[in-house]
Chains A and B, each alone.
Chain A
């Protein structure tokens, strides 16, 4: 079972640096999800590991062996591009059997393996059809079956669910993960959809501008994002700009615009430093005036809009100091609804607030999902 290691890998296309001094390790049997916006280098990364592209600098090891000069057909990896690249002139079974027949496995065996994979992906009975006769979901499964049947143990999936309808994507992502995990493959799955990443990945590696911003289990990425970009890209949050006004042994005070003071747990920032506070929308609690009783970080505001999003309701609230925050409340707890125009209080518990140094380029750049 392979493990993959990339050490200081760089790849340039002319003046563009697609992958920038990247380090990444993937464990044997792991399902790693590489998450990042379009143009962050996700496809380039997969192609480097597959051997379709060669790195300008750095080393790639698969199973402990240096593979920089090993051609794709000898790397024990199967690459699944975004548009599947099914061979239109070959039938379903011939597509699936392409891998085994290329590796000079006995023909009988080749058919057996491909047949098994087609059964597992529920393409049974369509063995004689051609790719253009299949629906989008079936094409995706065929591409997967072909990769699984190829006899490799490392799968490189480039937006495998990208071409599918939103609802179908949600349905198939669980099946994709279980199929891969059940067969014991190592997989690197690339996507721009953070919800998908949270569901399928054992670990998530957030990629931006060719560099890994953070790589950990979903829980950690979500609850301890290392940067504003990660905090915003995975899950979204409310961001408030201000500066440290006071620092004490058990916490600090941050002054936002128009003098609104927020208490945070951090003690590492010096007074005067400009910071950005981040609070997840579901941790931005709405408290009705009656319930309020002089706690810290409870601010007055007015609800400017309420959107029903199905399983939750999203409120936009303008705080007394002019800052705008969003709050998410689950629908099931919606005993007392909050209406647009209502005056409410917003509570931001200090332990739910993450603090970051104000970025030199400005907050807007970090929040732009690019």
Chain B
């Protein structure tokens, strides 16, 4: 029995459509991340699940029960807010024990639960402090603890790490995932940070402009994204426009700007005009043009990024290709101005029909 089911959810505010045509199923104990640019409807969606927003159309089911008319406080769903929203007039202990308190639980039982949670979060020492004296990371952990203690099996998180420093985020996200799994909860975690989603999600749902674009595991979305937007939003990609020249059993040959690309992907669409996408780390870079199909180019820019080096290469046929190579294992490094040969492994060349809205608009992350 799926934990959460959304059927044909739509939310409109007059002329504006915040979400539309959303159908979603989340299994018990799954850790789902919903990602997308600001305004794509991801927050609207979890607010519909929590009951904070009433959908204009569609149904919300939790554990098989239709919840459309059920008020927030009866839904038994834990929620972590983007603004953290710790009660400023209560101390940490009171904040975390608020759930059991208002539900009238046996004070002793509640007390031990709260103690346990505070220990798990390493917040025991700060129990008597007011929220405003804690660091943002600690505040967010408190908010998460508060949602955990409320006893619900479904946890909704709205940009829970959004207000934190980059470094703190990378550390806290793993702790968060671990705790959710240890407690056996189902989690729906909304974020605009695709790296965060990739790191912790069992499954990722990509949204744009109120609709679900694609859903899949991190590996699927990264290595074989089905939508053009996903290819750009999850990770980075080089995009080129061309025309399908030939389809054989060894793959597809695409013609562009005086060169040909071989893709092992399938073309299950009719359009001749296509967009080719290839991730920067899959582009091969070689000193000499041994291979026939290698593209010759000049390095325009070299950016050292720590573990990787980012090369911006202007190919002879006018394209600008970004190549990312690991720093450590590279025996040879190029400088700006060097000549290189680029190789595109066929199984890394992704194909998409040219979008009606135009390429720039389709992949825009704004």
Contact = CB atoms under 8 A, between A and B. Distances in A.
A37 B281 CA distance: 29
A310 B171 CA distance: 18
A238 to B, nearest CB: 13
A199 B166 contact: no
Interface string B191-217: 011111011000000000000000000
B365 A198 contact: no
A330 B165 contact: no
Contacts of A283: 328
B167 A331 contact: no
B234 A168 contact: no
B306 interface: yes
A359 B329 CA distance: 31
Nearest to B166: A193
Nearest to B234: A310
Given A193-B166, A234-B306, A331-B281, A310 B329 contact: no
A193 B306 CA distance: 13
Nearest to B233: A167
Interface string B276-311: 000111100000000000000000000111111010
A370 B134 CA distance: 13
Query: Which one of A38, A39, A171, A234 has the greatest number of beta carbons of chain B within 10 Å?
Result: A38
A280 B222 CA distance: 25
B233 to A, nearest CB: 6
A218 B309 CA distance: 12
A171 B365 contact: yes
B326 A282 contact: yes
A351 B116 CA distance: 44
Contacts of B310: 199
A38 B166 contact: no
A81 interface: no
Contacts of A192: 165-167
Contact of A168 (B165, B281, B365): B365
Given A167-B37, A192-B165, A233-B167, A280 B192 contact: no
The SS class assigned to the B binding surface is mixed
Contacts of B280: 311
A10 to B, nearest CB: 24
A199 B305 contact: yes
B9 to A, nearest CB: 23
B235 A310 contact: yes
B56 interface: no
Contact of A166 (B136, B170, B195, B306): B195
A369 B281 contact: no
A308 B218 contact: yes
A38 B199 CA distance: 23
B268 interface: no
Interface residues of B, number: 42
Interface string B348-366: 0000000000000000011
B194 A167 contact: yes
B105 to A, nearest CB: 35
A335 to B, nearest CB: 12
Contacts of B281: 311, 330-332
Contact of B38 (A37, A165, A310, A331): A165
A165 B36 CA distance: 9
A234 B170 CA distance: 13
Given A281-B307, A369-B165, A332 B192 contact: no
A98 interface: no
B236 interface: yes
B144 to A, nearest CB: 18
A221 to B, nearest CB: 9
A199 B168 CA distance: 20
B307 A280 contact: yes
A307 B199 contact: yes
B282 A170 contact: no
A352 B328 CA distance: 10
A309 interface: yes
Interface string B107-144: 00000000000000000000000000001100000000
Contacts of A308: 198, 218-219, 222
B37 A168 contact: yes
Contacts of A311: 235, 279-281, 308, 324
A151 interface: no
Contacts of B366: 135-137, 168
B310 to A, nearest CB: 8
Contacts of B171: 369
A225 B218 CA distance: 33
B166 A195 contact: yes
Contacts of B135: 39, 370
B206 to A, nearest CB: 11
Contacts of B196: 166
Interface in A214-231: 218-219, 222
Contacts of B282: 332
B304 A218 contact: yes
A150 interface: no
Contacts of B308: 311, 330
Contacts of B101: none
Contacts of A280: 307, 328
A333 interface: yes
B81 interface: no
Given A166-B194, A308-B198, A370-B135, A282 B365 contact: no
Nearest to A168: B365
A193 B170 CA distance: 11
Interface in B212-232: 218-219, 222
Interface string B142-160: 0000000000000000000
Among B136, B165, B170, B194, residue most surrounded by chain A Cβ atoms (within 10 Å) = B165
Contacts of A331: 222, 281
Given A167-B37, A171-B365, A192-B165, A309 B192 contact: no
9 contacts: A166-B193, A166-B195, A167-B192, A192-B165, A195-B306, A199-B310, A218-B305, A218-B306, A309-B195
Interface of A: 37-39, 135-137, 165-168, 170-171, 192-195, 198-199, 218-219, 222, 233-236, 280-283, 307-311, 328, 330-333, 352, 369-370
Given A165-B37, A309-B195, A311-B324, 8 more contacts: A37-B168, A165-B38, A167-B192, A168-B365, A218-B305, A236-B170, A282-B326, A282-B328
> Nearest 8 A-B pairs (CB), nearest first?
A369-B167, A166-B193, A282-B307, A165-B192, A192-B165, A193-B166, A167-B365, A235-B306
